[in-house]
């Protein structure tokens, strides 16, 4: 197709509609060199722009997108969308590896840099509830309307927690960290909505009278303030001792499920379309791997489960997937969805299948299900590395992924999936190093957990690539099982957690897996449809398990870091909320750290049952020997690269662990 040049750095590439009807236009807006030395890959550049696409709502591969059939159509009867994209690549084509890594943005955020291996890295917008911004990857989706052209409606629930005392007005937002603005209410009449407050999540709700609040801004105007559909004004102000829950009828739902199809279509286009079709990566992509962290990892799990790893021509989209620290689904494909949830009260995300092999979910009455059912039918399943930390067990309801909803037996992994558990690590891993003090507290009681995952992930990424491209078997899966007695109930007694004077106990820190019923309009298996019961009915608590620990309180099984093999303290997947509505309970998905005493005398003085650093390692050189031995063993098992092993040994040598006198 003809290339239209509009400037030195911005030009539009038009695709051939017959060959690539999904992506209809791709516009490159900026090209810039990336600073840095990238070794044999040479110079890198970052390319960014925008792409447009259209979806056929009658195509079975699109039909499960909630409300897609009610979205406005173009002259061809299709449904339009548009999104931003960016990719980084070696400038020299000959130095490109053939691998395309699709790095799923987390809440629109993604920084793309150079790669010494010569890989192409791509990111694009998939979350349609994020406002466009130069620093974010965003997606514009259509708004659905009723069949008669009127407003399409549905229920919305918003929770407000830890508002400063006396606050009169809060924005109506949802998801982690406040999230995106919630949909507009159909009416500003408070009699048509409900506001309640609770002293605890399991307490009886107290109804706030309809005359005691308003959809309004009272920041500068006394109650009832200035009418505003995006804000909630409380006449008597918010009390931080309570959580507030607002339920109202909203209108004009964005069709957020389009985000799955937009990702599918862009990756398929970049992989298969030719230069004549306007593909800026034509001929340079042999293998594709999707990587997502946290919410972005949940996105990949849902993407695969809902069948989007098969493009509209029936081809595999991703050859490999690495959902990292992802225990759930991304709640994206139902009316008025909130993609940014974090396993808080009433947040959907754990309703669908959470396991890779077929498992009969009798507890929830769902029957045999699997994350791989649709791709198995299409013969488009990728090879999967599932990597996660201790915090996912404690804060994000990981247990059923391994042992189902009855916690009766281990669910085996299929041949195409490997599972690598990082024991004693916080969500996303700690900063690493050999600092005895731990990291900052992040609003928790205990110091942050420094136990890292980065080094292990780097080694495993190479293993996934070799598996995808050459069929080289990766290291065996490493994770705790019921069969080995390594998964137990989340109590100090069952875990074997030591009693450490002055330290917190794991009791009461577990985020219970609650079974929700969102009503008959909601399809829990696919997290699709319409939530017709908000707040949802809480039927029961699903049985869950966590890893057993040793005499130090450290978990015993998994793909351990060097720091875990040569510990400086107890590394936890849980922590304690310091203040606020949830004070004393689990601190989100932050892990904590309880350092060992330096000497035997200090240990005995405090009554700490754990051996001191001195008793374990003798002196500084003894500790360095322990690190060296751990690094050698992990390198031999392919869980650590030789380069990282050398760096870690040098860091240990330079550390202050058991150094008796200050260094000059």
For 453, half-sphere exposure in the C-beta direction (CA atoms, 13 angstrom radius) is: 27
Q: Print the SS3 string covering 595-657.
A: ECCCCHHHHHHHCCCCCCHHHHHCCHHHHHHHHHHHHHHHHHCCCCCHHHHHHHHHHHHHCCC
Q: Do residues 535 and 245 touch, judged by C-beta distance below 8 A?
A: yes
pLDDT tens, position by position, 543-560: 999 999 999 999 999 999
The string of DSSP codes covering 339-378 is TT--S-TT--SSSS---SS-EEETTTT-EEE-TTHHHHHH
pLDDT tens, position by position, 451-508: 999 999 999 999 999 999 999 999 999 999 999 999 999 999 999 999 999 999 999 9
Range list of β-strands (E), 65-193: 79-90, 99-103, 120-124, 139-140, 153-160, 169-171
For residue 541, give Cα distances in angstroms to 67, 512, 579.
31, 7, 26
Q: Do residues 469 and 448 touch, judged by C-beta distance below 8 A?
A: no
In this prediction, residue 546 carries a pLDDT of 98
Strands 320-324 vs 383-389: parallel, antiparallel or unpaired = parallel
In this prediction, residue 610 carries a pLDDT of 98
Nearest Cα to 154, choosing from 322, 311, 338? 338
Look at the alpha carbons of 306, 312, 316, 317 in this order and tell me if their dihedral is positive or negative: negative
In this prediction, residue 340 carries a pLDDT of 77
In this prediction, residue 63 carries a pLDDT of 94
Strands 513-517 vs 537-542: parallel, antiparallel or unpaired = antiparallel
* Angle of the 258-272 helix axis to the 295-305 helix axis, nearest 10: 80
- Backbone dihedral angles phi then psi of residue 209, each to the nearest 5 degrees: -60, 150
The string of DSSP codes covering 105-132 is -BTTB------TT--EEEEE---TTSPP
CB atoms within 10 A of CB 34: 17
The ranges of the chain with pLDDT < 70 are 1-21, 174-180, 438, 661-664
- Read off the tokens for 181: 């603005």
In this prediction, residue 581 carries a pLDDT of 96
In this prediction, residue 664 carries a pLDDT of 43
In this prediction, residue 174 carries a pLDDT of 66
In this prediction, residue 179 carries a pLDDT of 56
Residues 6+ away with beta carbon under 8 Å from 281: 87, 89, 100, 120, 270, 271
Q: Is 501 exposed, middle or buried (0-12, 13-18, 19+ CB in 10 A)?
A: exposed
Strands 417-422 vs 383-389: parallel, antiparallel or unpaired = parallel
* Average pLDDT of the chain, as a whole number: 93
CB atoms within 10 A of CB 491: 14
Residue ranges of the domains in the chain? 1-142+254-285, 153-251
């Amino acid at each position: 197709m003809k290339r239209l040049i509009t400037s030195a750095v911005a030009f539009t590439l038009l695709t051939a509609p017959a060959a690539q009807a999904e992506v209809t236009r791709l516009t490159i807006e900026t090209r810039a060199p990336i600073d840095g030395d990238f070794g044999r890959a040479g110079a890198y550049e970052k390319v960014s722009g925008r792409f447009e696409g259209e979806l056929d709502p009658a195509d079975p591969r699109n039909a499960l997108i909630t409300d897609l059939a009610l979205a406005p159509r173009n002259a061809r009867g299709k449904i339009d969308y548009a999104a931003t994209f960016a990719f980084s690549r070696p400038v020299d084509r000959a130095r490109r590896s053939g691998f395309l890594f699709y790095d799923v943005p987390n809440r629109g955020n993604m920084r793309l840099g150079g790669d010494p291996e010569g890989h192409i890295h791509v990111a694009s917008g998939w979350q349609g509830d994020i406002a466009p911004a130069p620093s974010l990857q965003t997606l514009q989706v259509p708004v659905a309307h009723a069949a008669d052209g009127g407003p399409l409606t549905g229920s919305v629930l918003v929770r407000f927690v830890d508002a400063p005392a006396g606050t009169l007005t809060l924005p109506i937002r949802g998801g982690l960290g406040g999230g995106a603005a919630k949909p507009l209410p159909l009416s500003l009449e408070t009699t048509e909505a409900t506001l309640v407050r609770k002293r605890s999540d399991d307490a009886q709700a107290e109804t706030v009278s309809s005359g005691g609040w308003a959809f309004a801004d009272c920041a500068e105007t006394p109650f009832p303030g200035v009418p505003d559909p995006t804000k909630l004004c409380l006449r008597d102000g918010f009390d931080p001792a309570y959580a507030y829950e607002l339920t109202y009828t909203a209108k004009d739902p964005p069709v957020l499920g389009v985000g799955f199809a937009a990702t599918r279509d862009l990756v398929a286009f970049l992989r298969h379309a030719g230069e004549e079709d306007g593909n800026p990566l034509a001929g340079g992509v042999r293998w594709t791997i999707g990587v997502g962290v946290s919410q972005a990892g949940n996105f990949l799990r849902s993407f695969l489960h809902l069948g989007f790893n098969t493009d509209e021509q029936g081809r595999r989209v991703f050859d490999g997937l690495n959902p990292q620290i992802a225990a759930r689904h991304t709640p994206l494909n139902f009316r008025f969805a909130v993609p940014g949830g974090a396993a808080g009260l009433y947040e959907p995300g754990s309703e669908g299948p959470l396991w890779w092999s077929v498992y009969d979910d009798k507890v929830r009455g769902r029957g045999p299900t699997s994350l791989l059912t649709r791709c198995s039918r299409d013969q488009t399943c990728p090879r999967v590395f599932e990597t996660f930390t201790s915090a996912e067990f404690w804060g994000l309801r990981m247990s059923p992924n391994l042992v189902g909803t009855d916690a009766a037996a281990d669910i085996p992994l299929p041949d195409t999936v490997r599972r690598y558990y990082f024991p004693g690590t916080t969500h996303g891993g700690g900063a690493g190093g050999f600092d005895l003090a731990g990291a900052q507290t992040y609003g928790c009681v205990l110091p942050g957990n420094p136990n890292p995952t980065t080094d292990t992930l780097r080694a495993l990424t190479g293993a996934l690539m070799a598996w995808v491209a050459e069929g080289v078997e990766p290291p065996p899966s490493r994770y705790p099982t019921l069969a080995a007695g390594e998964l137990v109930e989340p109590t100090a007694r069952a875990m074997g957690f030591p009693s450490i004077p002055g330290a917190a106990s794991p009791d009461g820190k577990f985020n219970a897996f609650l079974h929700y019923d969102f009503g008959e309009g909601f399809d829990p298996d696919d997290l699709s449809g319409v939530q017709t019961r908000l707040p949802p009915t809480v039927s029961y608590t699903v049985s869950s398990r966590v890893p057993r620990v040793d005499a130090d309180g450290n978990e015993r099984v998994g793909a351990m870091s060097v720091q875990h093999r040569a510990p400086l303290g107890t590394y936890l997947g849980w922590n304690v909320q310091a203040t606020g509505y949830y004070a004393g309970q689990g601190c989100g998905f932050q892990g904590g750290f309880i350092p060992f005493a330096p000497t035997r005398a200090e240990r005995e003085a405090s009554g700490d049952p754990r051996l001191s650093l001195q008793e374990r390692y003798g002196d500084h050189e003894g500790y360095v020997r322990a690190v060296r031995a751990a690094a050698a063993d992990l390198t031999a098992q392919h869980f650590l690269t030789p380069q990282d092993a050398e760096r870690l040994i040098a860091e240990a040598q330079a550390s202050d662990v058991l150094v008796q006198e200050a260094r000059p």
